Each structure stands twice: as structure tokens, then as C-alpha cells.
Chain A
Amino acid sequence: MKFYNQLSDRYPFLKALPFLLPFAIVYFIFLIFPIFRGFWMSLHRWTMIRNMGFVGLDNYLYMIKDPAFWESLGNTLMFVILSTPTIVIGGLVLALLANQKIKGQLFLKIAFFLPYVLSVAVISSIMVYFFQPHSGLLNGILQSYFGVEETIFWLGEANLAWFVIVFATLWWTVGFNMVLYLAALQDIPESFYEAAEVDGATKLQQLLYITLPSLKPITWVVTLLQIIFSFKIFSQVWLITGGGPGTETRPIVQYIYETSFKQNSMGYGAAMAFAFFIILVIVSMIQIYLRNRKEV
């Protein structure tokens, strides 16, 4: 022990090592190593049981010509485009509502945030029954109170299925964005509004010229997080539409899952997973680049 102490005084890294090691080991085995392992697997034919031999870039060449890959990538992009503005703006609106100085402010915050603490499995289950054509709650409400006569098959058509998926995701996750916006709203100094009041600015002018400009930096953060989150979509689609009708809402993560674990071609699954990983890295880089340029 004495020897260690003397040594670690000369090499402080030795002192840090016992603190860093427990996390570092788990981190490298279960987070960093899988990236390299995944790339290695993508160069092979690989089943769930074993490695069937080196095939070079064949999996990638197959991927480029695989219409199902492009379709699922397109579906993912579709979801990013549909969900990002909806859930970012939704979070902003809820934050503005929950930030009002009114009675029951806490109730508003809790209500808007509550769905976020439920599991995606529960959210999806509720949504399946909510949108069920014959005995579901929504069609029931539409038919009893809004004079709708036909039975709407919410999951029977791609456009409606997309609506259901975005709706479910909005309901489930918008509370997260709201909390980020609320934090930023509370950072705006009260004196700004007081000064505006004195100058006779209306509430609308205060919103447009004080509140919204002050929220610009947090909007970047929220949008960045939202885009990455939306790219990774899988669970709610899998559990609500199963990727259907047909494969019209199947996202890339689901296609990777099905290829690897149902079709048993983990080599090809790993190739698509690696491509997906690269896409996410590029998206993050673009965002960081844009943000830095804006700040200069």
C-alpha cells in the first residue's frame, strides 16, 4: 500500500484509476465495443448462433439495392418531419400555458407531464384501444357526440396510421419538452416584462418581442434532442401499428430488428445498424455545426 501511495503521487493517473475503472469497464464492454463489434459483424454472414464467414462489403452492397431498407429509412424520415415541429411547438405552447400565473398551475404541469412517466408499452396499449374501430373510445365519442356515422379504421390506412403514431408520441413525450421550456421561461427576468408594461406593450407584443426571442437557445436544444429521439422511433410503432398497414409505417429500427432477430441475418442487420449509427452521427454533427455558426 505504501508503495502504491508513493507511485500514485508520481503518477496521479494511478490515483484516479480505482475511481474510473468500475464505470469504464462497463462502458467499454456494453457501449463502445458494440460499435466496433457491430461493424465487424456487418462484414460477415452471421446468424444468431454463429459467424458464417467473411463477405466483405456484400451486406452494404445488398443494403443499397434493398428497397425495404430505403422504404424504412424514408418512413423514419417521415416521422422525424411530422413529429419534430409538432412536439417542439407543442412543448412550447404547454409551457406558456403552464407558466401563467393562474390557480391550479401545478395541476396543469402535472397533467401535461404525467403521460411521460408511463411506459411506452402502456401508452401504446391505451392508444390501441383508444383508436380501436368498433369499441374504441375515439370512434365512440365521434359517433355519439359529433354525428360521425362511418366507422373509421384508424390503422387501416397509412395517413391515418401516421396520425395515430404522431398523436401517441405527442401525448406521451411532449411533457419532456414542456419542462425544458418552463425552465427557460423562468430564467427570463421579470424586469423585462415590467419595463414593457410601463412602455404600454400589450401581452401579445410582450410574447413576440420578449418571450419568444429569449427562448431561441432552448429551442435549439429541444429541437436537437427531438430530432435524435424521433430518428430512433421503434417501440410505439411496433406496438401500435406493427409497421402497418403492410410496411408503410415500418421505421428503420424495426427493419433492423426484424432482419436480425426474426430473419436471423444478424450480419445484414448489423450493416444497417451501422449505417443508421453513421446517419445519426452526421445529423448530430450538422446540428452542432449549425448551432455554433448561429452563435458566432
Chain B
Amino acid sequence: MENKTSPTAKVLKYSFSYLLAVLFIFPILWMLFASLKPSGYTVSKIVEWFLPPYSFSNYFEVIDQAPVLKWMLNSFIVSASVTFVVIVFDSLAAFALSVIDFKHKNLVFVLFTIGLMVPTEANVVALFDIVQKLGLINTYPGLILPRIAIPLGIVILKEFFDAIPRDLIDSARIDGCGLFRIYYSIFMPLSKAAIASIGIFTFIQAWNAFLWPFIAIMTKEMFTLPVGVPTFTDAYTPDYSIPMTVNMIASLPAIAAFLLFQKQIIQGIKFTGIKG
């Protein structure tokens, strides 16, 4: 009656899974080790990439050479602003759509969700024209605003808000609470988990965004990290240490955020996938 897998099958299963996992992080480890090699270091054997000597000198050299810290600051300002505003604007709108009974509510919701079908990729030409006319090309607001326009957070939060018991609203009303108080003191605290997921997910997406920043940034001082990184990538130099160092600097915050908040990030994807 025992239907157990044989020990050999088990060993095979384990080793295949682990091997695949190691292969997945192998290029990332390579990036890490290459960034620790002295600049101009050449290898004759593959394993030498992963063996000492190690040094952090590239990190200082890169920071001296290029405005990488400024790019990091730009990335941070843009991503943090996007995240903050998305949370505020999306939760406000989701609250109205969930709680207030007004005419054509469903129509408004549909109008908002239609935006999920509009890809930035098909919009960039006109977007550039509009942002240029507003005088926002090569500015922080020019990078931030188009990202806030994505309605995904509203769809997810409305779902969450819909599940909050209506009795809470009634009793708050009886106690004389206004709508904004109800939003701020009841709905927001009760949706902390969803808001955290949306926030972290939005932050990482904004941190990594390439296409729009690539088009809307005109000067080196305004670069975000993803726009700055490729300026170091050059397939024709044998020196990998410097570009890999820049890659590492650009990735560390995202990797750290992922390892710290992997639960929320994965939750965020489940929301996106199911509702997207």
C-alpha cells in the first residue's frame, strides 16, 4: 500500500531542483564576483572569476568616475514619490468606488480599469509630446506622473475594501465620523497588508523602469540607475569589473528589498496576476 518514491528517484529530484536553482543565481553570483575583481583583471580559467583576490576598489572607482550616487538618489526620489502617491491616490479612489453610492459608479470603475489595457509602449510618442508641452521633460515630475496613472492599485484595493464589513461604516457614521475619517481611521489600517504589497511592488517596478526614463531623461545628471547602467556596458572591452560593479550598485537595493519583503512581493504578484 506504500506508494513512496524510491530513494534514487528522490535523490534525482533533489539534485535536479537544486542544480536548476543554482543555475538561476549563477549569473548573479558571477556579477557579484566580477565586481570584486581588480579593474583590468583578465581570467584564463572560468573558475578564476570566483576565486580571490577580492577587492572593493571598483566600488570607489565607479563612484569617483561617474555620478552613480546621483543616479541612485534620482532613482530613489522617483521610486519613493511614485510609491507614496500611488498609495494615497489609489486608496482614495478605491474608497469612493467601494463605499460611496453615486450614480454611474460602475461606469467610472470600468473607465478606470480600461487603462490596464493601455501599454506605455504604445503611448510613448504622444506622452513625450504632452510631457514636453507641460515643460516636464527631464524633470522628476515628468518621470513620476506617468507611472502614477496606472490604475492597477485601485482594482486591487477596491476588492479589499469591498470585503470590509459595512457595519463598521454604519457605527462610525453614528459616532459622527465623516467619510474622510472613515477612510483614514478604518479602511487604511484594515488594509495594511494589501497596501504594503502594492507599495513594495510599485517601488521595485519604478526602481527598475527603463523605457520611459530612457526617453524622458536628457542629461546625465538626471539619469536613473537603469538608464545609467547601459552606458557602462560595452561588449568590446575585456574589462568586466567596472560594468559589473555598476550593475551590483543598481541591483543591491532591489535585492535587499526582495529578501526582506519577499512575502509581500509575492502577494503583490498574486494580486496582479489574478486581477490583471
Contact = CB atoms under 8 A, between A and B. Distances in A.
Contacts of A86: none
B247 A257 contact: no
A12 B100 contact: yes
A229 B137 CA distance: 26
A88 interface: no
A106 B118 CA distance: 35
Interface stretch (A62-70, A77-85, A208-216, A266-274): A266-274
A147 interface: no
Interface centre among B1, B122, B214, B233 (most CB of A within 10 A): B122
B154 A23 contact: yes
A33 B96 contact: no
Nearest to B5: A203
A130 interface: yes
A37 interface: yes
B78 to A, nearest CB: 13
A133 to B, nearest CB: 9
A253 B120 CA distance: 10
B18 A104 contact: yes
A289 interface: no
Interface string B89-124: 110110111001111110010001011011101111
Contact of A171 (B27, B215, B274): B27
Given A38-B123, A121-B230, A129 B100 contact: no
Interface in B201-257: 204, 207-211, 214-215, 225-227, 229-230, 232-233, 235, 238, 240, 243-244, 246-247, 250-251, 254-255, 257
A27 B207 CA distance: 21
A183 interface: yes
A179 B154 contact: no
A179 B129 CA distance: 37
Main secondary structure of the interface of A (DSSP, over half): helix
Contact of B265 (A26, A117, A155): A117
Given A114-B25, A121-B229, A270 B31 contact: no
A117 B118 contact: no
A32 B108 contact: no
A235 B214 CA distance: 10
A135 B18 CA distance: 27
A31 B230 contact: no
Nearest to A272: B125
B60 interface: no
Given A13-B103, A15-B179, A284-B117, A135 B238 contact: yes
Nearest to A239: B230
Contacts of B93: 19-20, 22-24
Interface residues of B, number: 102
A199 B27 CA distance: 45
B22 interface: yes
B265 to A, nearest CB: 7
B270 A37 contact: no
A111 B49 CA distance: 21
A32 B276 CA distance: 18
Main SS of chain B's interface residues?
helix
A47 B264 CA distance: 44
B190 interface: no
A120 B46 contact: no
Looking at B43, B123, B258, B266, the one whose CB has the most chain A CB atoms below 10 A away is B123
Contacts of A19: 92-93, 95-96, 100, 179, 183
B208 A120 contact: yes
Contacts of B123: 31, 34-35, 38, 273, 277
Given A30-B148, A117-B265, A228-B119, 18 more contacts: A13-B102, A19-B92, A19-B183, A27-B112, A34-B123, A111-B25, A114-B24, A115-B28, A117-B208, A122-B229, A125-B229, A132-B235, A180-B274, A200-B3, A201-B3, A203-B5, A253-B121, A273-B123
Task: List 6 tightest A-B contacts by C-beta distance, closest first.
Answer: A38-B126, A19-B96, A111-B21, A119-B208, A277-B122, A121-B226
Interface of A: 11-13, 15-16, 19-20, 22-24, 26-27, 29-35, 37-38, 41, 46, 48, 94, 97-98, 100, 102, 104, 107-108, 110-115, 117-122, 124-130, 132, 134-135, 137, 140-141, 144-145, 155, 171, 176, 179-180, 183, 197, 200-203, 221-222, 225, 228, 232, 234-235, 239, 253, 256-257, 260-261, 266, 269-270, 273-274, 276-277, 280-281, 284
Interface of B: 1, 3, 5, 13-14, 16-18, 20-22, 24-25, 27-28, 30-31, 34, 42-43, 45-46, 49, 88-90, 92-93, 95-97, 100-105, 108, 112, 114-115, 117-119, 121-132, 145-146, 148-151, 154, 179, 183, 204, 207-211, 214-215, 225-227, 229-230, 232-233, 235, 238, 240, 243-244, 246-247, 250-251, 254-255, 257-259, 262, 265-266, 269-270, 273-274, 276
7 contacts: A23-B148, A118-B254, A125-B229, A171-B24, A171-B27, A225-B273, A234-B211
